[in-house]
Amino acid sequence: MHEMTTSLALAGELFAQGDSQLLAIVLLSLRVSLTATLLACLIGMPLGALLAVGRFPGRRTLIVLFNALMGLPPVVVGLIVYLLLSRAGPLGQFGLLFTPTAMVIAQTILIVPIVAALSRQVVEDAWREYREQLRSLGANRLRAARTLLWDGRFSLTTAGLAGFGRAVAEVGAVMIVGGNIDGVTRVMTTTIALETSKGDLPLALALGMILIAVVLLINIAAFLLRQWAERRWG
Amino acid sequence: MGGKALGMSHESNCTWLHLDQLGLTEGNIRIIDAITLKVGAGRTAILGPNGAGKSTLLRLMHGLLRPSAGKLHWPQTLSQGMVFQRPVMLRTTALANVAYGLKLRGVATKERQQRSMTALARVGLADFADRPARRLSGGEQQRVALARVWALEPQVLFLDEPTASLDPASSREVERIIKEIAASGTRIVMTTHNLGQARRIAEEVIYLEGGRVLEQTPAESFFRQPQTTAARSFLQEETP
Amino acid sequence: MIRNLRRKIFSAACGASLLLAVSAHAQERFITVASTTSTEQSGLFAHLLPAFERESGILVRVVALGTGQALDLARRGDADVVFVHDKVAEEKFVAEGFGVKRQEVMYNDFVLIGPQNDPAKAAGKDILAGLRQIEAAKAPFVSRGDKSGTHAAELRYWKAAGIDITAAKGPWYKDTGSGMGPALNTASSMNAYLLADRGTWLNFKNRGDLGIVVEGDKQLFNQYGVILVNPAKHAHIKQADGQKLIDWVVSTAGQKTIADYKIGGEQLFFPNAGN
């Protein structure tokens, strides 16, 4: 695997140089995907909790739907968001196409189902254990959902990280709604796709390695934070 | 602190809960079979062999389960609380666990803190207030659960096997707390496997078997001379 | 309470990052250009546009697609200017009223790429003869198949060579539906023939055994045009700034900048706006 070692060396070199263009691309990737993750958590976690404790018609259908939507193809999400944000589309007047905001919107839509489905699982398991106690103390379902979300915060980090992982790794949606514009909407994955197009496979692979390293760092940070918090709060 | 010393503020002639043909079926199994009962004592123990339906009856009374037949009648509205065999602790401090119940009732932050601290002190855990509740021992967790419910000052407290998972020392401490809660005027209904505990706490015993009430007698006479053969053999088997 | 404080910090963080995302594209003066992968990936734009941006103060955001996609994007009003290379499609675009006027900017040429040992004996200066050889030998051929300018040109050459490619295509003809770069990667791994624009080819690194098989045929001439999207169709089109870019690329200064762009001493694009 000659290419691997070449790319590894190249990745190390790029990293050591702290190339400003590369840094900007990495930061944009993180900004877009972390914002999308945050939004997806704000939407998906309450949604998952309501699906877990709620009793309303269509609940099971929704659960199956969200599970299925975890496999939503990024290109399809990209296309839908493109058609919405395009000047000819219903939200065209805001001029959001080919901006980081458009990328945040697409990635949020992409990962809300993941966060919601995983949160539902966490909250549902806790609900089984806490149900009688919470009801006895006088918590209604809405209140119970809130309590369970707070109480499951350590397990829920996994849902957030899964969402972030998918967001930061996808290329299909951001390519379409971002347009891979140099210095504006070019992120790690679209850069990798571009360098692959140019046939510069070692550089593409090196960028891929940097992406993996960045994602790894974030996961390590989250893991340590969770461990510390769990030690503190049980 | 003997049974007599606790006082008899809730005489049996003053019924505060009336069960009328109460039943619960699950599939084809009658877990609770048309129970008619008047609860009026201040401290009631529900006894019976495993599978008699004791915990289910307690949950029906507390409203956690909906009866499939019959009615539950409360002559006056009484605030209730319940303590379970296994305490459920939220992933936060002992103090915040106690405060949670008060928070649900909309008690303001400052008062909440004070009442929670008082409740923790009453169960002997004032020094544990800032500890993560989940890292406390089983006995300590059960005491936090008691503090949580005590802070709400319920008029009725249901306890489902509150000491079944605890060691003797913790059991004694929990028993002491239950007696104090009762002394503060709260009506107690508990299930237990510990006959000594029932004898020490209860004024009245409801003996349950197969989802039916076979006996409801003052505790003293129940332990001296049970009226039914079933209860008699139960006492013989359970007494060491 | 600690918990409340933590909540406050959390919501503040939420708000801050949202703001960050939204305000990212501050009020810059910019236009959006829908163009082709060949101009972007050959490095021409990286050479050409900074000169214009310095001079005009207008930033140019390039979305690089195939010619067909670029024109579709502009039809929806998502670009101010199109800079592409498919004369027939461009003229149709203007005739439909989506474009104001088509102006020629420059040309480069297509090259037939293939294995250096040339198993189909397609080498020479005649693209049509070369394609006939490939078809006769059923030698592996990679087609873009993505309605790009290059794809349109390829289809024109098959037709001119007297080959009905829809009927003649077999397992040897790989319709990849991909951009120039991915198609080159595919051809490189399969040792197949394909039609490429010279700029992308010169800038392409993963060549493997591939080399130029046919070049220099007049028919391989590849004209680029630039069109302002019609503000009558889409009111938000940045007409003045878009026109500035067009005026500049066809100006003497712009044309010279295009001519100056070289890879390895080789000129990639030949300005011909005056013609």
Name the H helices within chain A. Answer: 2-17, 20-53, 59-69, 74-85, 100-137, 141-151, 153-169, 172-178, 188-197, 201-233
**CATH 3.10.129.10 applies to domain C27-107+223-271:** no
d(CA B131, CA B148): 15
Distances (CA, A) of B186 to A10, A119, B151: 74, 39, 12
State yes or no: pLDDT of B150 exceeds 90: yes
Q: Do residues A130 and A150 touch, judged by C-beta distance below 8 A?
A: no
Residue A39: inside a domain: yes
pLDDT for A7 equals: 86
Per the prediction, chain C carries an average pLDDT of: 90
Tell if the CB–CB gap between C185 and A197 is shorter than 8 Å: yes
State yes or no: pLDDT of C20 exceeds 90: no
Taking Cα atoms as reference points, which of B48, B32, B31 lies closest to residue B193?
A: B48
pLDDT for C10 equals: 56
Tell if the CB–CB gap between C234 and A87 is shorter than 8 Å: yes
Q: Does B129 lie at the interface with C, CB-CB under 8 angstroms? A: no
- Structure-block tokens of residue C262: 């070289």
State yes or no: pLDDT of C199 exceeds 70: yes
Kindly indicate the confidence band of residue C15, based on its pLDDT and cuts at 50, 70 and 90: low
Identify all chain C residues contacting A100, using CB atoms and an 8 Å cutoff. 21, 24-25
Per the prediction, chain B carries an average pLDDT of: 92
Residue A180: inside a domain: yes
Residue A125: inside a domain: yes
State yes or no: pLDDT of C126 exceeds 90: yes
What CA dihedral angle connects C201, C207, C212 and C215, to 10 degrees?
Answer: -10
- In a 13 Å sphere around the CA of C266, the CA atoms on its Cβ side amount to 12
Tell if the CB–CB gap between B92 and C3 is shorter than 8 Å: yes
Q: String of b and e for A172-192 (b: at least 16 CB within 10 Å)?
A: bbbbbbbbbbbebbbbbbbbb
- Can you tell me whether residue C234 is helix, strand or coil? coil
For C254-273, how does the pLDDT look when each residue is reduced to its tens digit (9 = 90+)?
Answer: 999 999 999 888 899 999 99
Kindly indicate the confidence band of residue C28, based on its pLDDT and cuts at 50, 70 and 90: confident
Q: Do residues B201 and B190 touch, judged by C-beta distance below 8 A?
A: yes
* ipTM exceeds 0.85, yes or no: yes
CATH number of the domain to which A77 belongs: 1.10.3720.10
- Can you tell me whether residue C89 is helix, strand or coil? helix
User: Which chains border A (3 or more CB–CB pairs < 8 Å)?
Assistant: B, C
Kindly indicate the confidence band of residue C27, based on its pLDDT and cuts at 50, 70 and 90: low
Residue A62: inside a domain: yes
Pairing of strands C30-36, C221-229: unpaired
Regions of chain A short of the pLDDT cut 50: none
d(CA C198, CA C213): 12
d(CA C48, CA C54): 11
Residue A205: inside a domain: no
Kindly indicate the confidence band of residue C275, based on its pLDDT and cuts at 50, 70 and 90: low
pLDDT for C8 equals: 54
State yes or no: pLDDT of C12 exceeds 70: no
Fold matches, C27-107+223-271 and C109-220:
yes
pLDDT for B1 equals: 34
Domain-by-domain residue ranges, chain C? 27-107+223-271, 109-220
First to last CA, chain A: 46
For C151-174, how does the pLDDT look when each residue is reduced to its tens digit (9 = 90+)?
Answer: 999 999 999 999 999 999 999 999
pLDDT for C18 equals: 53
Q: What is the DSSP string of chain B?
A: --TGGG---S-TTS-SEEEEEEEEEETTEEEEEEEEEEE--SEEEEE-STTSSHHHHHHHHHTSS--SEEEEE-SS---EEEE-SS----SSBHHHHHHHHHHHTT--HHHHHHHHHHHHHHTT-GGGTTSBGGGS-HHHHHHHHHHHHHTT--SEEEEESTTTTS-HHHHHHHHHHHHHHHHTT-EEEEE-S-HHHHHHH-SEEEEEETTEEEEEEEHHHHHHS-SSHHHHHHHHHH--
For C80-112, how does the pLDDT look when each residue is reduced to its tens digit (9 = 90+)?
Answer: 999 999 999 999 999 999 999 999 999 999 999
User: Which chains border C (3 or more CB–CB pairs < 8 Å)?
Assistant: A, B
Q: Which residues pair with B80 in a beta bridge?
A: B156
Q: Does A183 lie at the interface with B, CB-CB under 8 angstroms? A: no
Least confident of A21-30, A58-67, B12-21, C49-58: B12-21
- With a CB cutoff of 8 Å and minimum separation 6, the contacts of B196 are none
Q: Which residues pair with C271 in a beta bridge?
A: C106
Q: Do residues C134 and C195 touch, judged by C-beta distance below 8 A?
A: no
Minimum-distance CB partner of C206 among A32, A184, A199: A199
Identify all chain A residues contacting B84, using CB atoms and an 8 Å cutoff. 132-133, 136
Minimum-distance CB partner of B91 among A135, A139, A233: A233
Q: What is the span of the domain harbouring residue A76?
A: 20-186
d(CA C234, CA C216): 41
Kindly indicate the confidence band of residue B12, based on its pLDDT and cuts at 50, 70 and 90: very low
Which residue in this structure is represented by tokens 């810059």?
C28
Domains identified in chain A, total number: 1
d(CA B158, CA B164): 15
d(CA A79, CA A106): 9
d(CA C269, CA C275): 15
Tell if the CB–CB gap between B109 and C1 is shorter than 8 Å: yes
Strands (E), chain C: 30-36, 59-65, 81-84, 99-115, 141-143, 173-175, 193-197, 210-214, 221-229, 262-263, 266-267, 270-271
State yes or no: pLDDT of C17 exceeds 70: no
Kindly indicate the confidence band of residue B4, based on its pLDDT and cuts at 50, 70 and 90: very low
Residue range C109-220 forms a domain whose CATH class is: alpha beta
Which DSSP category does A86 fall into?
S
Q: Does C54 lie at the interface with A, CB-CB under 8 angstroms? A: no
Q: Which of A132, A135, A142, A157 to mutate to test the interface with B (most CBs of B within 10 A)?
A: A132
d(CA B185, CA A13): 76
pLDDT for B8 equals: 44
A-facing residues of B in 123-182 (CB < 8 A) are 132-135, 148, 152
d(CA B216, CA B40): 11
pLDDT for B119 equals: 97
pLDDT for B11 equals: 45
- A129-135: list long-range contacts, CB under 8 Å, 24+ apart: A129/B88, A130/B88, A132/B59, A132/B64, A132/B82, A132/B84, A133/B84, A133/B87, A133/B88, A134/B88, A135/B64
**pLDDT more than 90, % of chain B:** 88
d(CA A10, CA B139): 59
pLDDT for B53 equals: 94
Residue A29: inside a domain: yes
